Amino acid sequence: MTRHYNFCAGPAALPTAVLERARNELLDYQGRGLSVMEMSHRSDEFIAIAEQAEADLRELLSIPSNYRVLFLQGGASMQFSMLPMNLLGQGGSANFIQTGIWGKKALSEAKRLGFHCHVAASSEANGHTAVPDEAALSMTHDAAYLHYTSNETIGGLEFDYTPRVARADGAEVPLVCDMSSNILSGPIDISDFGVVYAGAQKNIGPAGLTIVIVRDDLLGKAPGTIPSLFDYRMLAEAGSMVNTPPTYAWYLSGLVFQWLKNDIGGLDAMDVRNQRKAQKLYAAIDASDFYSNPIAVANRSRMNVPFVLADERLDSAFLQEADEAGLLNLKGHRSVGGMRASLYNAVPEEAVDALIAFMADFEQRRG
């Protein structure tokens, strides 16, 4: 069996060790004579899987006891609606830092639902190539929370700081962060946030699952008119099982958490590895006149590295030859073009080395 190097932005690469274990347990989970896909979510076996996954995630991220961890459906995009529904039940304004396509979608969805929204800062003026200075943040007097996207997957723009803001009256503004493409890439301080959420299909597991980490004091603010499946408090009280959850994605994510703990050695070790992978690729791009990356150095994403060729007429040839060399899914997002290499946790360092070698060879032959 040949496994190629997968640079897809999502659904993304999964650790080979995780896939091998899932394969071994696919038909018969620990002697039970059935697959996890076939288990009742109310069974003792699955409850144990779910509880272990949450415990491992709490350990990895050092999640304080006053936060609930929800394992939900709908993708991170559904949180664009669920967040204002839950946090603006008593009024107030949703404030946003807008740094790219996903932040814009979050803002647009809240507006679509009729909520009062305010852009606290934007990187639109610089073409989303650098995040706004923290000093430039402008909050409304009734800000209920501040939302931002810590890593813009499409543009390859990552925050180099955690915003710390208050309203003019000095009141704390809960920080809400979409961490879909950089959660678990290194340590974070969950206590800095009111809500952290992330779609699974980058660093957590397969598509179909979304993780929401929400502070206790932010539960119970939703009006009784919203659907029960959207109510964080009801979901937390039901252990994320108001309805049948995405059980197999939950199980696979739990295997990824164990891989991070036991095979990698935790998020500090993962951070070192991710920094090294990204630095190698950016160094190769910067050393070349044939490839370029537009993002300010301080805000270059460790997870998603976009780059363009000096002659875009060679894009198709680059992608075809890369594919033939076993370097898959390097095409940039349709909205920006060019190339994009996503270097998520499960992408090994050897994949980056192989990509750099291919890029050098392609440049020598075609540049």
Active-site residue numbers? 102, 178, 202
Taking CB atoms within 8 Å and a gap of at least 24, the contacts of 272-279 are 273/349, 274/185, 274/186, 274/302, 274/303, 274/343, 274/345, 275/186, 275/302, 276/349, 277/302, 277/343, 277/347, 277/349, 277/352, 278/302, 278/303, 278/305, 278/343
Residue 342 β-bridge partners = 304
Residue 141 burial (10 A CB sphere; 0-12, 13-18, 19+): exposed
Angle between helices 267-286 and 349-366 in degrees, nearest 10: 10
Residue 307 β-bridge partners = 339
Closest by CA to 344, choosing from 210, 156, 173, is: 156
Asked if residues 215 and 174 have their Cβ atoms less than 8 Å apart, the reply is yes
Q: Can you tell me the distance from the alpha carbon of 306 to that of 24, in angstroms, rounded to the nearest whole number?
A: 36
Centroid of chain to Cα 318: 27
How far, in Å, are 89, 234, 332, 362 from residue 277 at the CA level?
43, 41, 19, 20
Centroid of chain to Cα 147: 15
Looking at residue 300, what DSSP letter applies?
B
Asked if residues 326 and 4 have their Cβ atoms less than 8 Å apart, the reply is yes
Q: Can you tell me the distance from the alpha carbon of 193 to that of 82, in angstroms, rounded to the nearest whole number?
A: 17
Give me 325's structure tokens: 């060399």
Closest by CA to 50, choosing from 199, 246, 232, 254, is: 254
